[in-house]
Structure 1
Amino acid sequence: MSTSTHTEPVPGPHPELGDGRRRRTLWITAGLVLFLVAVVAASFWADGVAGTTSLDDRRSAPSLDAWFGTDWLGRDVFARTLVGLRLSLVVGVTAATASALIALTLAAASAVFGRWVAAAVNWLVDLFLALPHLVLLILIAFALGGGTKAVVIAVALTHWPALTRVLQAQARVVVSSDYVALSRGFGRSGGFVMRRHVVRHLLPHFGVGLVLLFPHAILHEAALSFLGLGVDPARPAIGILLSESMRYLSSGMWWLAVLPGVCLLLIVKSVDAIGDNVRRLSDPRSHHQ
């Protein structure tokens, strides 16, 4: 009498599941990008409305006529929020790009130009990571006299260390490769190796890091504006709207702070989700997880 055993196959990652996740991630990313584009497009329509005062409609609660209500001068809070979000996005893009470029340059240089340059870059990274982030941000903005330019510089000079660490690890892998050794064997300079080999291979990681820096840049711009060190108070930035609303919360005008704050949170979470999805798309291992 014979017995036979039947072994069930062990399920493994199916390529169609990975493709489905990839398509879903692409659709989500495209939807979030369209949402941000719609916010920017709507803000241009709101430019003329944001500064219009109507003393007869002061302190109106949210309604069909004024979705976010009006402030103490009768200005439409929804229009001012849209304009403020556009300003936050512009400042965030500029500051995050500058900060990411600093990280890319320092990481590539530390991997190519020897241990002394690497030691100097590591010392700078450790120094900036050891300092209280928000305090350093406020000090730089205060030293530069405040304003939009000061905010961009302050955010750019304080957000590069963590990304530099990530790019350094990738740069060391590139520098240790055979084709870089061959390029050096042909007498190519360190600058050539840095431009043609290291920076090119770091660009995907640079792009993901740039998108992930963006939400931090937006939040810190709003924080500096809230403290009076940000953009011109005459401009309807989100931080300024939140700062001005503090004087009227006790009188029941909750919409002045809550609704712009929720919109800022939605923008930040949207950009953060885009960065996370871009990271997943650039990592082949994540398609089957």
Structure 2
Amino acid sequence: MENNVTLNESKIFNLRTKTLAEIIIGTIVILGVLCIGMAMDESAYAVDFANRGLAPSFAHPFGTDWLGRDMLARTVKGMTTSIQIGLFASLISSIIAIILGTLAATKGKKTDAFILWLIDLFQGKPHLVFLMFVSILLGKGVKGILIGVAITHWTSLARIIRAEILSLKTNQYILAAEKFGVTKLDIAVKHLLPHLLPQFFVGLILLFPHAILHEAGLTFLGFGIPPEQPAVGVILSESMRYLTMGMWWLAVYPGLFLLVIVLFFDAVGNGIKKMIDPKTGQE
């Protein structure tokens, strides 16, 4: 029995250590890319016909494109745009989720039914279809893609928040607080909010890679960021026509960069989720 307890404690410790290390590494990577990208001058990825179509080398680790532009600089600059959109979109989406999830759990059956209907509506259709529609409606660009991603990614977190509140409302200390005349605001701040914040942050972290991926996908299809702006989706879209010419690095390295960022933060979010609720994390 003691051996089992010790083993479980060891697993939890290892998971916490691993997740903490991933959070630190992820924070450093994101801040590094943002700082470098925002400080980067346009001359770093300027047209240079003398260096067109160069394969990856020490001077150009990601190679150069058909205009001689350095692909590492373009990729970092493009990821800066994607990360900024991903951060803002996931934050807005998480706030929408916690508001609607709370309303569904506290404002009666009609409100609950309506919000659940909205959740089913958004989850029943591919995100990309809604994203394209919203982006076109708002004139594409950063604004269209930011709002599109934000209003289509809140559903799963809202359902979790709703379930969490419904569960908490049946706890004895909540019922006792209501009987003693404690205001709903005090109950929400002192008893509900501390339980919801971990779910909120996990949802925020898990939404971030999905927001980046959908931004890149939408831009790749031509419904997102315009071609004149450096973005990973733009780079991948432009590179497709040059693959037959043997310039494989134009798509491979930016694509791998995006994939690593997405998978890494997805793993971080799942790690934190397992720490908070091991059963849910395993599911």
| Common topology (TM > 0.5) | yes
Distance 1:17 1:165 in 2: 29
Q: Which moved more, 1:113-122 or 1:33-42?
A: 33-42
Structure 1 residue identity aligned to 2:155 = P
Alignment deviations for residues 109-167 of structure 1 (CA, whole Å, 9 cap, x no partner): 11112212111111111111122322122111111110101101101111111111111
Alignment partner of 1:43 is 2:59 = no
Which residue number in structure 2 is paired with residue 12 of structure 1?
A: 4
Q: Once the two structures are superposed, what CA deviation does each residue of 1:77-131 show, in whole Å capped at 9, x if it has no partner?
A: 1000001111111100111111111111111111112212111111111111122
Looking at structure 2, the residues matched to 122 and 285 of structure 1 have their Cα atoms a distance apart, in angstroms, of: 24
Structure ranking higher in helix proportion: 2
Q: Say which SS state the counterpart of residue 63 (structure 1) adopts.
A: coil
Alignment of 1:204 with 2:198, yes or no, is yes
Taking a change above 3 Å as real, the CA distance of residues 47 and 276 of structure 1, as seen in their structure-2 partners, is farther
Residue 81 of structure 1, aligned match among 63, 75, 79: 75
| Percentage of matched positions with identical amino acids | 41
Cross-structure match for 2:222: 228
Q: Report the Cα distance in structure 1 between the residues aligned to 2:212 and 2:260, rounded to whole angstroms.
A: 12
Map of 1:266 onto structure 2: 260
2: CA distance between counterparts of 1:272 and 1:189? 38
Q: Which has the higher contact order (CA 8 A, sep 6+)?
A: 1
Instruction: Find the aligned partners of 1:51 and 1:16 in 2 and give their Cα distance.
Output: 48
Amino acid at match of 2:250: L
**Contact map agreement 1:133 1:158 (CA 8 A) in 2:** yes
- Number of the residue aligned with 2:118: 124
More deviation, 62-71/195-204:
195-204
CA deviation after TM superposition for structure 1 residue 185, in Å:
3.5
Shift of 1:10: 8.1
Aligned 8 A contact 1:95 1:152 in 2: yes
- Whether the 8 Å contact between 1:47 and 1:79 is mirrored in structure 2 is no
| Whole-angstrom CA distance in 1 between matches of 2:141 and 2:105 | 36
Alpha carbons of 1:259 and 1:143: their partners in 2 closer, same or farther (altered >3 Å)? same
Distance in 2, matches of 1:263 and 1:111, equals 40
Matched, 1:52 2:46: yes
CA displacement at 1:195 relative to structure 2: 5.0
**Cα root mean square deviation, aligned:** 2.4
Matched, 1:28 2:22: yes
1:143 to 137, 150, 167: 137
Unpaired segments ≥5 residues, structure 1: 1-8
Secondary structure, in 3 states, of the residue corresponding to 1:158?
coil
Contact 1:56 1:74 in 2 (8 A): yes
Moved more, 89-98 or 106-115: 106-115
- Tell me what 2:175 maps to: 181
Q: Which of the residues 271, 274, 278 maps onto 1:277?
A: 271
Between Structure 1 and Structure 2, whose CA radius of gyration is higher? 1
Structure 2: tracts of 5 or more residues without a match: none
1:110 to 92, 99, 104: 104
CA–CA separation in structure 1 for the residues paired with 2:169 and 2:20: 32
Are 2:251 and 1:247 equivalent residues in the alignment? no
Counterpart-to-counterpart distance in 1, 2:185 and 2:113: 18
- Report the AA paired with residue 64 of structure 2: T
CA distance in 1, matches of 2:38, 2:240: 27
Is contact 1:49–1:76 with CA below 8 Å preserved after alignment?
A: no
User: Following TM superposition, by how much is the alpha carbon of 1:188 offset from its aligned partner in structure 2, in angstroms?
Assistant: 5.6
DSSP 3-state at the match of 1:248: helix
Q: 1:266 to 1:115 in 2, by over 3 A?
A: same
Which amino acid in structure 1 is aligned with residue 125 of structure 2?
L
| Equivalent residue number for residue 90 of structure 2 | 96
Offset of 1:179 from its aligned partner?
A: 3.4
